[in-house]
Chains A and B, each alone.
Chain A
Amino acid sequence: MSNSAHLHVVTSDNIGPARIRLGKGLIWGSAALLGLVALAQTSTSFGWFDFGFTSWRPTLYAFCLWATALCWAQVLIRGEHGKRALFVLPAALFVISLTVFPLLFGLIIAFSSWNLSSPDGRQFNDVQNLVQMWNDPFYWNAMGNMVWYVLAIIVEYAIAFGLALLLNAQISARKFFRVAFLLPLMLSPVAVSWMVGKSMLEARFGPIARLARFLGWEDPSFFSSPIMAKLTIMIMDAWTFIPFMMIMLLAGLQAIPKELTEASRVDGATGWRSFWEVTFPLMLPVSITAVMIRIIFKLKLADIVINVTSGGPGGATDTVTSFIFREYRERSNVGYGTMLAMVYLVLIVIFMTILMKLAARYARPRT
C-alpha cells in the first residue's frame, strides 16, 4: 500500500479550551475510577479491608468505562482527527487488553509454581520452571515433532499446487469439484478426528483398514508404531488443510495474465518447461504467502492430536500445544505450562522472523 492512496483532507476544527478540559477530565476521571476500584479489589483480595467483592468483575466494568471514555474523549479533544482515530482505536484497545495484558500477566505466572487446585496459591520459584523444562524430554520431543509436522507442509504444498493446476485447466463441472475439494476445510477438527481417526481407521472394521487388508497389509494398525502414528496425524491434518492452500494458489493462477502463458507457448515451451519457467516463478509470491500462513496454522495444531491419540504412542504424535494441554489437565499446574508456552512463543517468533527475512529475499522478482 503506497502512501499516495491515503486520503488527505484539510479540516478546521474550532475546539474551545472548555471542550478539551472536558475530554481530559473524562479520561483522567474514568482512569481514577478504574484505579480506585482496582485498589479496593486488591485490598479485598489481600484481606486488608473487606469491600465485599466476590470477583474482579467490577474492575472489568471500570476498565470498559475507561476505554469508552478514552474513545469519546478523542473526539472531544481532537475533533475530526479524533473521529479518524476512532476507526482504529476500538480494535487496538480490544487486542491490547486481550493479548498484551494477559501476556504480561503470563510472564509473572511463568516464573511461579501455581497449582490451581491447591489452596496455597501462587508462589514465585525463580527459574525452577526453566530448569524443569530443560530436563523435560517430553517437551523437547514435542518440539521435535513440530519440526516434522512443519516439514510435511512441503508435500501438502505439492498436492495443493497440483490440484489448483487441475482446477485451473479447462474442465467441466468445475463448480462441483471446487465445492467438493473445499468441504474438508469446513469440518471441525474434532468431528474429523472422530470420523476419520476413530471410525474409518478402526483396525478391525474401519473402511480404510479394510482397504489396507485388501491391498495386502496383514495387520493394519495406524496408531501403534510411532512413525505410522505420526504419518497418520500428518495425513489427517493435510486432508483438512490442503483445500486452504489450494484455494490461495488457484487465486494466484487465475491472476496470471493469459498472454504470458500463451507467449511462452509461442516460444515453444511445453508442459514441464512452461510450468517450471513461467508458471512456477510467477506463482512464487503467492506460494510463499500460502505456505507461510499454513506454517502459522500448523504451529497451532492440537485438536486432532488431543482427540485421536492424546500424544501417544509414547509422545510420538505430541504437538507442543497438545502437550501443554495435557500437562495442565493432569497436574493443573499453570506456572509450568505457561513457561513452556512462553518459550514456544519466543521460538516461533524467532523462526518466523528468519523465515520472513528469507522469503523477502527470495520472493523479490528476479530481473
Chain B
Amino acid sequence: MTETAGDDPPVDRAPIFKAPIFKDGEADGRYTPEWFANRALIYGVLILWAFICLFPIYWTISTSFKIAPDVMKGNMLPWYDYDPAWLGWRSLGLSPDTIGSESTVREEFFKRFVNSTITALASSTLAVLLGSLAAYGLSRFDYRWAWMKNDDISFFFLSQLILPPVVLALPILVLYRELGLLDTRIGLILLYTLSVLPIVIWIMRDQFAGIPTELEEAAMVDGLGAWGAFFTIILPIALPGMVAAFILSLVLTWNEYFFAALLTSTHANTLPVMVASQTGSQGISWWSMAALSTAAILPLIVIGVFLERFIIKGMAAGAVK
C-alpha cells in the first residue's frame, strides 16, 4: 500500500463533478448555479449522515443528565428545555456529590472497567506480538511444513477469520471448565487474542510487503542475524502499522460481548456484560443506563477522535494492493 486513506488528496485536485480541465475562457473559471446546487447537495448529504452518526451518541450523553419527566417529554436541548441533573451519574456513584462517598455500584463499575481494560490491552499486545512476527516470517522466508508452504500457512492464519465464535464457544466453555479457566481474565485474553490475530496478520503482512528486502540484506551483510535485522531495522519502519493493528484490536476486544457473556460470571466480567445485564433487570431507569453506556463508550470515542488516522490506516490495509 503506498497511499493511505488518511492522507488528504492534493489540493490542486479537480472537483469530481463538472470539472473544467482546460480553462479556455472566462466562462470556465466562473461558478455556475449548477455548481452551487451540486455543492449544496453534497454538503446536505454529508451533514445528514454526520447527524445520523452522531445523534445516538448525543442522545445517550444528554439522557444521562436528565430526570424522569425530561425523558418522558423527550426534551433534547440542555438548559433550553431541560435542566441538566446529575441523576444518572449519581446512581453510578460518579456525580460530584457522591464521588467522595462509598458506592457499591461505582466499585462494581470500576471492577468491570479494569477487567475490560486489562483484557483488551493484554490481548491486543499479545496479538500484535505474535501476529507481527508471523507476518514478518511469512513475508520474508520460505517455510515448508508437511504439505504446507508459505501461502498455505498464510491462508491457515487468515481463514481463522471465517470461523464464527459460536463454533468455538461451547467446546472452549467445556475445556475452560476442566482447566479452571472459566471466569478468569487469562481465559478471555487467550480467546480475544485468537479472535484478532487474523486481522493483525492481515494488516502486518501488508506492511512488511511494502518494506524492501534490500534493507535486511544490507543489515545481514553487516553481520546481523534474522532477528537482529528484524528488531533494529524493520521494527521501527513497521511501527505505524503495528500501532494501527493494535488500536483496531483494542476496539474489537473492548467491545466483545459474546465470549465474555458466555465465559464469565462474577470475577472477570467486562463492561459490555455489565451494560447488558443492566438492560435486563431495570429497563426504565433511563438516566442510569445512559450514564453507564456513556462511560462504556467514552474511552473508544476518545480513541476514535484522536487516533482516527491509525484506525483508518489499519482498515485500509489490504484494500489496496
Q: Hey, which bits of chain A sit against chain B, CB under 8 A?
A: 1, 3, 5-7, 9, 54-57, 59-60, 80, 83-88, 90-92, 94-95, 98-99, 102-103, 105-106, 109, 114, 116, 162-163, 165-171, 174-196, 198-200, 204-205, 207, 210, 239, 243-244, 247-252, 254-255, 258, 261-262, 265-266, 270-271, 285-286, 289-290, 293, 296, 299-300, 302-303, 306-307, 320-321, 324-325, 328, 334, 337-338, 341-342, 344-345, 348-349, 352
B2 located at the interface, meaning its Cβ lies under 8 Å from any Cβ of chain A in the complex: yes
B23 at the interface (CB under 8 A from A): no
Enumerate chain A residues within 8 angstroms of B168, measured Cβ to Cβ: 98-99, 102-103, 106
Within 8 A of A (CB), among B31-68: 42-43, 45-46, 49-50, 52-57, 59-60, 63
- 14 of the cross-chain contacts (CB-CB < 8 Å) are A6-B142, A84-B141, A90-B130, A90-B134, A98-B191, A168-B9, A170-B16, A181-B53, A182-B308, A183-B54, A200-B56, A250-B316, A254-B9, A348-B164
Q: Which residue of B lies closest to A170 (CB)?
A: B15
Tell me, rounded to whole Å, the shortest Cβ–Cβ distance linking A290 to chain B.
7
A188-B318 contact given A56-B179, A91-B131, A254-B5, CB 8 Å threshold: no
With contact pairs A83-B225, A341-B164 given, residues A325 and B220 touching in the complex (Cβ less than 8 Å): no
Q: How far is the CA of A274 from the CA of B275 in the complex (A)?
A: 48
Interface SS, A side? helix
Is B87 in the interface zone, CB < 8 Å from A? no
Which of B156, B164, B301: most chain A CB closer than 10 A?
B164
- The answer to whether B279 and A179 touch across the interface, beta carbons within 8 angstroms, is no
Q: Which of B9, B46, B59, B301 has the most CB of A within 10 A?
A: B46
The one of B7, B16, B255 that contacts A165, using a Cβ cutoff of 8 Å? B16
The residues in B between 189 and 244 inclusive whose CB is less than 8 angstroms from any CB of A are 190-191, 193-194, 197, 201, 205, 209, 213, 216-217, 220, 225-227, 230
Contact A247/B5 with A188-B272, A195-B293 known, Cβ cut-off 8 Å: yes
Contact B130 A5 (CB under 8 A): no
Bound-state CA distance A4–B234 (Å) is: 18
Q: For residue B40, give the distance in angstroms from its CB to the closest CB of chain A.
A: 12
A321 near B165 with CB under 8 A, answer: yes
Contact A189 B134 (CB under 8 A): no
Interface residue from B73, B134, B179, B289 paired with A199 (Cβ < 8 Å): B289
A274 to chain B, nearest CB (A): 9
In the complex the two chains form, what is the Cα distance from A56 to B258 in whole Å? Answer: 25
In the complex, the answer to whether B134 meets A181 with C-beta atoms within 8 Å is: no
Q: How large is the interface on B (under 10, 10 to 19, 20 to 34, 35 or more residues)?
A: 35 or more
Over the window 165-183 of chain B, the binary record of Cβ atoms lying under 8 Å from chain A Cβ atoms (1 yes, 0 no) is 1111111111101111000
- CB pair A7–B140 under 8 Å, yes or no, is yes
Which of A198, A338, A345 contacts B283, CB < 8 Å? A198
- Chain B residue at minimum C-beta to C-beta distance from A335: B170
A-facing residues in B2-21 (Cβ within 8 Å): 2-5, 7-9, 13-19, 21
B157 at the interface (CB under 8 A from A): yes
A300 and B165 in contact (CB under 8 A), knowing A98-B194, A102-B172, A180-B50? yes
How far does the Cβ of B231 sit from chain A's closest Cβ, in whole Å? 12
Q: Are B320 and A307 in contact (CB under 8 A)?
A: no
Which residues between 269 and 315 of chain B lie within 8 Å of chain A, taking CB atoms? Answer: 271-273, 275-276, 279, 283, 286, 289-290, 293, 296-297, 300-301, 303-305, 308, 311-312, 315
Contact residues in A for B136 (Cβ distance below 8 Å)? 87
Least distance between B89 CB and chain A CB atoms (Å): 16
Of B130, B194, B301, the contact of A99 (CB 8 Å cutoff):
B194
Q: Is the interface of B mostly helix, strand, loop or mixed?
A: helix
Question: Which of A3, A114, A299 makes the CB contact (< 8 A) with B164?
Answer: A299
* Contact among B167, B197, B311 with A95 in the assembled complex (CB-CB below 8 Å): B197
Contact (Cβ within 8 A) B319 A271: no
Q: A168-B9, A325-B166 are in contact. Are A105 and B258 (CB under 8 A)?
A: no
**Is B133 an interface residue, CB under 8 A from the partner?**
yes
Tell me the nearest residue of chain A to B136, going by C-beta.
Answer: A87
- B226 near A84: Cβ-Cβ < 8 Å: yes
Q: By the criterion CB–CB under 8 Å, are A338 and B4 in contact? A: no
Q: For the complex, is B245 an interface residue (Cβ under 8 Å from A)? A: no
Would A188 and B165 count as touching, CB distance under 8 A?
Answer: no
- The 8 Å CB contact of A344, one of B164, B216, B305, is B164
Q: Give 9 new A-B contacts, CB below 8 A, not counting A188-B255, A247-B315.
A: A170-B9, A177-B50, A183-B305, A188-B257, A195-B56, A195-B57, A303-B258, A338-B171, A341-B169
Q: Does B138 contact A (CB under 8 A)?
A: yes
**Do B167 and A255 touch (CB < 8 A)?**
no
Given the contacts A6-B213, A95-B157, A341-B169, A57 and B180 also touching, CB distance less than 8 Å: yes
Is B246's beta carbon under 8 Å from chain A? no
Partner of A83, one of B220, B227, B261, B297: B227
Instruction: State how many angstroms separate the Cβ of A275 from the closest Cβ of chain B.
Output: 9
B163 contacts A by Cβ under 8 Å: yes
Q: Is B162 an interface residue (CB 8 A)?
A: yes
Closest A-B pairs by Cβ, 4 of them = A87-B137, A251-B316, A188-B255, A106-B171
B226 smallest CB distance to A (angstroms): 5
